[in-house]
Structures are given as structure tokens and as C-alpha cells.
Structure 1
Amino acid sequence: MKLPIYCPSCEHALNVSQLQCEVCATAVSGNYELPFYLKLSREEQDFIMDFFLASGSIKEMSKQAGISYPTMRNKMDDMIEKIKKMTS
């Protein structure tokens, strides 16, 4: 099951309020913001993982995806801008 990141009622970002150990059932409660990576769509998370697994090679990513290098570069630039906005 995918972790929900937006409120189904008002569509604002959700925070984590509790974490629980599967072994001993200890629970930690609070109001914690999700890491930016988890705020990305599944497709965006996959893109970052693909980049990592391609050893940071946009050329290799474009080859594996069957798209041109400039198209992959544009996707990368869009992702960079989105992450900059999320972390500033």
C-alpha cells in the first residue's frame, strides 16, 4: 500500500503522527513532516532511483528508457527545479 501524502478531505500535505515498532509495539507519537523524497510521486521516486542505479548517468538513463538525451535532460532539469522548490 502506498503511503498517503495528501489529505483526502482538503488535499493539504499530511504529516506523520505516529511510528510503531512491529516487534515490541512501542509507539512514538509527534507531528513530523515527511521527508521530501516521500512527497514526490511514485514516478518521480522511480526516476531518482533509476538515476542512482545508472550511476548518475543521464546518457545511460536515456538509453534504458529509449528516449533522447535532451528529453531526459529536460526531465532531470524539471525534477531538480521541483526539488529546489520543495526544500527551500
Structure 2
Amino acid sequence: MDRNRLHRIPHKDPVSGGELFISELTSEETGITIRGNFEIPRYARLDPDQIEFLEIFLKSRGMLNGVERELGISYPTAKARLDTLLNALGLTPYETKERGDKLSGKRKQILEQLEKGEITAEEAKRKLGVLS
């Protein structure tokens, strides 16, 4: 089958905007047809720019500097596009969540020390500034 004849899988009903599903798969080689309700993979829901970014990111083995070079964009732009891609896939980066949890705990600890009078306001300000 000529892959250029294939269309992208629509994932929204053009009339109602509701979700679609795949109901039939066919093998051109054997003629077999499989019918049922199949989920559209979340990666098939990406737009062409997101697919290109994902492929370059994977070819770069997850290194944003490789994405920067390949696309001719800055690191902040590459990072923002990665965040957009993660959001489109419904994924939350591990490090952001873990780092946020750790920082949140440290901030809370500093504020508790301040509240108990264990440190001064200046010390708390300095310690909180280091965490940012």
C-alpha cells in the first residue's frame, strides 16, 4: 500500500466534536478485516509539528540540545515545545512534580522555623531565595 495514500486518523467527530474510535482494521496483503471498537492511540492525536518534534527528540535520544540544533531554535523554545507535547499527551514530567514536592516541603519547613522563632525573617528570606 502506498503510504502517501493514507490519511491522518481524525480523532474528533467533525459534526458533533465528540470522540471517535476505530471500528475496522484491514490487511491489504491477506484481505483479512478485523472489526471492533479500537482506541485511537494518543500519539495519533498529535498535530504534524508535534510529531516532527517528537521524532527529532527521540532521534536526539532525549537531549534538547540536539533538538535545538536540528530545528534551529533556542533551548527555552525547545523546552516550551516539549512541555506543550507532554501536555498534549496528558503527561506530567517526573522531575517537575518531584522537584516541586521537594521545594514545597523545604519552603514549608523554613516558614515553620520562622513561625517558631528558630530563624529570623532575614534568614527565612535568604533561605527561600536560594530555593527559587
TM-score in terms of structure 2 length = 0.58
- Matching residue of 1:51: 57
Where in structure 1 do 4 or more consecutive aligned residues deviate above 6 Å? none
Partner deviation per Cα, 1:59-87 (whole Å, 9 max, x = no partner): 111122111111111111222123226xx
- Matching residue of 1:66: 72
Q: Which has the larger radius of gyration?
A: 2
In structure 2, which of residues 2, 5, 10 is the aligned counterpart of residue 4 of structure 1? Answer: 10
The higher relative CO (CA closer than 8 Å, separation ≥ 6) is in 1
The count of corresponding residues between Structure 1 and Structure 2 is: 85
Question: CA contact under 8 A between 2:57 and 2:67: conserved in structure 1?
Answer: yes
Where does structure 1 lack aligned partners over 5 or more consecutive residues? none
- Matching residue of 1:42: 48
Question: CA contact under 8 A between 2:56 and 2:70: conserved in structure 1?
Answer: no
Where does structure 2 lack aligned partners over 5 or more consecutive residues? 1-6, 92-132
CA RMSD of aligned residues (A): 1.5
